[in-house]
Amino acid sequence: MSIADNIKRLKKETLPINVKLLAVSKTKPVEDVQEAYDAGQRLFGENMVQELVEKQEHLPKDIQWHLIGHLQSNKVKYIAPFISMIQSVDSLKLLQEIDKHAEKNKRVIDCLLQIYIADEETKFGLGFDEAVELLRSEEFAALKHIRIRGLMGIATNTDNEKQIKDEYYELKTFFDGIKQSFFRKDAAFDTLSMGMSSDYKVAIEQGSTMIRLGSTIFGERVIKHWKNN
């Protein structure tokens, strides 16, 4: 199946149930992104700042780029002019930096708090308590150039479907609680980003509103630099 076929098939699957499709194009060349774009895809995700910046320069300006990888504070300035959503916010300090650069660019930047749900030390994200503490803080209340649109989580990389299901269930439950406690009157808090190629069906069953698919759309990633593909 071609990239275009994959986009069309996945749109058919997700549109009727109101789940957004983020095409994760990391390591893939601009030609592949263009093919997905030509098939109607507009939401794309990248995990590296430099790769993201270079790709967006070469691709149509109406693409909505999401950053889904760990973001260092000193790199926020490179993406602040154009980024559509930062899904990987994992500290107050980072959020403050995003706010600062959003203001400089006279914008409000949409963000998701990345929540740590996996049983793996290597994954980034806020714990449940840390997320609540952040949202309660005066420092957070002072930020005027970011908008929290919801939460993002990455499940454990395992074949154990029950474990993945439990992790997504917990995140959905937490999402509902956070919405009740902090965003009850805020219709913009509407995004629960969970689900990748290996587990997106489980994620949708558990209440995902946005799935992030790479290999299902673009094929397996070879571990080469994206420009030399």
Ligand X SMILES: *Cc1c(COP(=O)(O)O)cnc(C)c1O
**Using CB under 6 A as the criterion, which residues of the chain lie in contact with ligand X when the complex forms?**
24, 26, 47, 68-69, 154, 196-198, 212-216
Closer residue to ligand X, CB minimum distance, 56 or 88: 88
Kindly state the smallest distance separating residue 11's Cβ from ligand X, in Å.
16
Q: How far apart are CA 128 and CA 132, in angstroms?
A: 6
Kindly state the smallest distance separating residue 47's Cβ from ligand X, in Å.
5
Closer residue to ligand X, CB minimum distance, 89 or 143: 89
What angle do the packed helices 128-136 and 161-182 form, to 10 degrees? 20
Q: Are 208 and 194 in contact (CB under 8 A)?
A: yes
Question: How are beta strands 146-153 and 210-213 bridged, if at all?
Answer: unpaired
Question: Shortest Cβ contact with ligand X: which residue?
Answer: 214
Kindly state the smallest distance separating residue 8's Cβ from ligand X, in Å.
17
Eight-class DSSP state of 177: H
Kindly state the smallest distance separating residue 193's Cβ from ligand X, in Å.
8
Q: How far apart are CA 219 and CA 199, in angstroms?
A: 16
Q: Are 151 and 87 in contact (CB under 8 A)?
A: no
